[in-house]
Chain A
Amino acid sequence: MKANLPIRAIPEEIASRESVFVVCFCFLFSIAPHFRHLPLWVSGFVIIALAWRISQNLDRVPALSKWILAPLVLIGGISVFAEYWTVVGRDAGLALLAVMASFKFLETRNHRDLLILIFLCYFLIATHFLFSQSILTAVLMLITLIVITTTLITINQRDDNVPIVSRFKIGGRMVAMSIPLMLILFILVPRIPGPLWGITSEQRAGVTGLSNSMSPGKISNLILSNEVAFRVEFKNEVPAQNKLYWRGPVMAMFNGRLWYQSKRESIDRLNILVFEEPVEYTVTLEANGERWLLALDIPTQLVEESVLTADYQLTSNKEINDLRRYTLKSRLNYQLGLQESADYLKLTSNFPVRNNPRTVALGRDLAQRYENPQDIVKHGLAMFRDQDFVYTLNPPILRDNEVDRFLFDSKRGFCENYAGSFALLMRTAGIPARVVTGYQGGEYNSVGDYLIVRQSDAHAWTEVWLKDRGWVRVDPTAAVSPGRIEQGLDDALSSKNSGFRIKNRSPIFGNLLYSWDNLQHGWNDWVLDYDHRKQSNFLRDLEVGIDDWGDMILALVAMMLFVTGGYWIISWFRERPSKPEPHEIYFNQLLKKLQKLGLEKPPSEDTRAFLQRVQSRGFRQPDQVVKIINLYNLIKYGPDKADALSLSELRMLVNSIRI
């Protein structure tokens, strides 16, 4: 036999117009949410290419030849490179993908090309998750997945008469059936800690959060964002609002305008005296693209893959580009850094002498006036409290000697103005001081029993070093606007920007929002943060004896087989042949009887022709057969449903046939 393998034998097949059209739509649907990430020219190009392909489908425009497309592809690639100066990484990669897929549409002719484009759409879903992994994105992508799968089914169905609703039903059912399989794989496929290759930092462009330097305006920009910075579950009760100082980057360096971080090594031993039991809590930190892990007040414990610097800032070993979850212990009552190094104390007393002459003069004056440094601190705070300082989100923009202008002229500022100018004032008076940035407060979610800390809770305060007390937190903002610390930002500002705190809403709506946030927190905790650590913990807690990779793969295969076997049984049950109706049973009895006489009725033969054959063969009871066939046709094709009487008549007639 000549071996023609059927797989290879199918000739290249030209895609039908309908298929091209649905795939165009599918691609547009999959890429549309990316239009806000793509440069305008790329989005425009995608739309023009698809419009061209659809017009080509309608015979309005000709197909572009290879000789036109090839140089255009080259220009497209170069343009992407010119835009990003790279073609790898998330943003450039996405742009390249969009441009090249559009070209693929222009040269698509075969059924096979369409399949490739649909798989590309599936791939596009993954790229969306590099931008956002929120619940809403997930829901949108689930819909996209159904659309793509339905498109795939449509072009493989090769039947233009199937209504679109049943196509979506088939696609939706397939996606729904894959969810249990996905869950099994998600839980059981052994996770490998990443990354496998380097991720460039642009991947986190646009993430809001604290910065590694502080200048006026930086934090007040953050305040406008209601994005969640992190969520905290306390093991015991939540400390009072005015104790909730979340420590972020510590700035010990000042250049006259900008506060920034010094390079400090990690500490080898804690330089702290404690007076209370530690507070234990778990933080779920949103990606911030930086290295700092936020901690309550003074953390006295390390978390994995991190160091504690000498200024008690918890720093991750790598950038936090994904959700990070860690459990910590912190002290709220302590004496910190009593034995501080002389070098560091000198560093934290430095200031540029030429800038801010009025502040420098005031500091020197204070140093002469008071013997006890504590009195200088008190004087500074009193100055903020007693003079007409205003706490505002929109302070006037100041140039040159900003601290001078703030302290003596405008007297209007936000926490960073207060923290920065207070630290400088202390330094000029001879007291070591540094600025700590982070978050203050948070909103308690009663539905999920955890604290939500948003970017709008960003704050800056000061720490001064006193000889017998070590580093002491002084929050000058509290002196100006005590409400900011006691009740939170909104009460302090009462501006129109205060809408995003849930507690400001009506109780019912507020509860809904708390539930929604709780859902997001669970999503973060269970879906986004499910990594190799969580996996092994989860499997251990299940106590089903899945300990290593071998067990996991075994369980995985077994469960996959179980689920697909279940599907197989359900579909077998649903699709099993329906029971023949009574008249069919009787008719088959007749056929069987006639078969014994050598009169066989092939399914294709119609009853009239068969009847003629029966008659021509000289069957003894031709009238009986005629009656049966007429009655059978009446029941089968007649307008009324078969009634019991005609059915029993049919049965009797069939029984009366004698062979």
Chain B
Amino acid sequence: MLFFLFLAAINYQNSMAFVLTFMLTGLAVISLWQTHKNLLGLEINLQTPRPVFAGESCEFIYSFNHQNNAFRYAVGVQYANQAPAYITIEPEGNARVVLKIPTRKRGQFRPGGSVIFTRYPTGLFHAWGFLRFDTPILIYPKPVSNAILEETMVAIDDGETSTSTIEGDDFAGLREHRIGESLRHISWKAYAQGKGMLTKTFQGQVRPSLWIDWFSISDNSLEGKLSHMTALVILAENENQKYGLKLPGATIDQHSGTAHKQACLHAIATFRQSDLNQEFEPDEG
């Protein structure tokens, strides 16, 4: 456009058209410099994202701060081809921006695709920088919906007898309904989910512990098995059971609690993942 204006100015020998052309050139030069300046001296951190299950959105929380006495407008953050988010950072201030990135594959990744950019103030120029973070991203396999804690997994622990009865204080799990049992104990929730007639079992003082064992999962595919195991870990934790994890080459002792659950899920998520530093790719679907 500037060139066209310049030609017109020459053609009409119009001094003010020259003035305008040169003024706009000056604006462009200043804009180029200011666009660059808008990103200069920014410090960006990525908080370790909370682990999510594959298919969910992972929240990337970037925090920005800078020491300059100037506003930073329209600083954009983008992960790969996802929609960007823009923020304003006050002079010597800090700001946070959250990107929700859809996930697809389980595993541990490195967030390699972050880009910080700006087109402020004129939209003519694009200044950007790649951001490399070492913060790991952990994505658990997507849990299957039809997992059942089967009694067969309940093993005898340290000689203590594990008794599952339909009477008791604590909910222990579900087993197949046997004819003659009271309908009161049928898990109608599970029935509604199409899992068949299951009887809720409860237990008394004795807490059975269980193993979530790779070899006892009937699913054929590796990912299917892992998804199943993920679901079982969640179920077991929700039911407040003691459980252990057996994977080929790795075993996690029986325990319960959030830390234990996370350790188990971490083991499942990174199972047979050769490169733990693989770049994270969002779900483009």
Contact = CB atoms under 8 A, between A and B. Distances in A.
A126 interface: yes
Interface string A175-208: 1011111100110010111111101000100000
B67 A577 contact: yes
Interface in A565-605: 567-568, 571, 574-578, 603-604
Contact of A119 (B1, B17, B73, B92): B1
A530 interface: yes
Nearest to A527: B15
Interface string A65-85: 000000000000000000000
B123 A152 contact: yes
A122 B26 contact: no
Contacts of A157: 73-74, 88, 120-121
Nearest to B47: A604
Given A1-B279, A9-B80, A194 B13 contact: yes
B26 to A, nearest CB: 3
A545 interface: no
Contact of B25 (A129, A133, A162, A181): A181
A186 B13 contact: no
A71 B241 CA distance: 72
A145 B121 contact: no
* Residue of A9, A125, A159, A179 ringed by the most chain B CB atoms within 10 A: A9
B69 A575 contact: yes
A122 B13 CA distance: 19
B29 to A, nearest CB: 6
Given A1-B279, A574-B69, A530 B15 contact: yes
Interface in B65-107: 65, 67-70, 73-74, 76, 78, 80-81, 83-84, 86, 88, 91-92, 94
B276 to A, nearest CB: 16
A123 interface: yes
Interface string A322-359: 10000000000000000000000000000000000000
Interface string B18-59: 111111111101110110010000000001000000000000
A133 B70 CA distance: 38
B14 interface: yes
Interface string B103-127: 0000000001101010111110010
B273 interface: no
Given A4-B113, A158-B73, A10 B14 contact: no
A349 B67 CA distance: 90
Interface stretch (B3-11, B163-171, B205-213, B232-240): B3-11
A578 B93 CA distance: 12
Contacts of B74: 156-159
Contacts of A191: 10
B128 interface: yes
B281 interface: yes
B29 A564 contact: yes
Contacts of B279: 1-2
A429 interface: no
Contacts of B250: none
A352 B179 CA distance: 135
A164 interface: no
Contacts of B15: 133, 527-531
A554 interface: no
Nearest to B7: A196
B30 A178 contact: yes
Given A123-B1, A186-B18, A576-B68, A181 B30 contact: yes
A9 B81 CA distance: 5
B80 A4 contact: yes
B111 to A, nearest CB: 13
Contact of A159 (B1, B78, B88): B88
Contacts of A88: none
A138 interface: yes
A198 to B, nearest CB: 9
Interface residues of A, number: 71
B92 A185 contact: no
Given A138-B16, A156-B120, A7 B22 contact: no
B183 to A, nearest CB: 52
A129 B20 CA distance: 9
- Residue among A125, A321, A568 having the largest count of chain B Cβ atoms under 10 Å: A125
Given A115-B123, A178-B30, A1 B68 contact: no
A83 to B, nearest CB: 22
A11 B83 contact: yes
A6 interface: yes
Contact of B30 (A531, A567, A576, A577): A567
Interface in A263-291: none
A127 to B, nearest CB: 9
A216 to B, nearest CB: 36
Contact of A153 (B69, B117, B122): B122
B12 interface: yes
A194 B10 contact: yes
Nearest to A118: B123
A7 B63 CA distance: 23
B16 A141 contact: yes
A203 to B, nearest CB: 8
Contact of B128 (A7, A122, A571): A7
Nearest to A132: B16
A512 interface: no
Interface in B164-193: none
Contacts of B117: 6, 10
Given A7-B126, A137-B16, A182-B19, A564 B11 contact: no
A148 B172 CA distance: 71
A576 B117 CA distance: 22
A560 B29 contact: yes
Contacts of B119: 156
Contact of A152 (B19, B34, B67, B121): B121
B128 A6 contact: yes
Interface in A107-165: 115, 119, 122-123, 125-126, 129-130, 133, 137-138, 141, 145, 149, 152-153, 155-159, 161-162
Contact of A568 (B25, B26, B33): B33
B205 to A, nearest CB: 35
A170 interface: yes
B40 to A, nearest CB: 10
A488 to B, nearest CB: 32
Contact of B12 (A122, A149, A192, A194): A194
Contacts of A126: 5, 8-9, 14, 17, 20-21
A387 B171 CA distance: 132
A96 to B, nearest CB: 15
A161 B83 CA distance: 22
Contacts of B130: 6
Contacts of B126: 6-7
Contact of B27 (A4, A158, A175): A175
Given A11-B83, A578-B69, 10 more contacts: A6-B78, A6-B115, A126-B9, A156-B121, A162-B73, A178-B29, A185-B22, A322-B12, A567-B30, A577-B69
11 contacts: A126-B5, A141-B16, A141-B20, A152-B123, A153-B121, A156-B119, A158-B120, A528-B16, A531-B15, A575-B70, A577-B69
Interface of B: 1, 5, 7-27, 29-31, 33-34, 37, 47, 63, 65, 67-70, 73-74, 76, 78, 80-81, 83-84, 86, 88, 91-92, 94, 112-113, 115, 117, 119-123, 126, 128, 130, 279, 281
Which are the 7 A-B pairs with shortest beta-carbon distances? Answer: A178-B26, A181-B26, A185-B22, A577-B67, A129-B16, A182-B22, A575-B70
Interface of A: 1-2, 4, 6-7, 9-11, 115, 119, 122-123, 125-126, 129-130, 133, 137-138, 141, 145, 149, 152-153, 155-159, 161-162, 170, 174-175, 177-182, 185-186, 189, 191-197, 199, 203, 321-322, 527-531, 560, 564, 567-568, 571, 574-578, 603-604
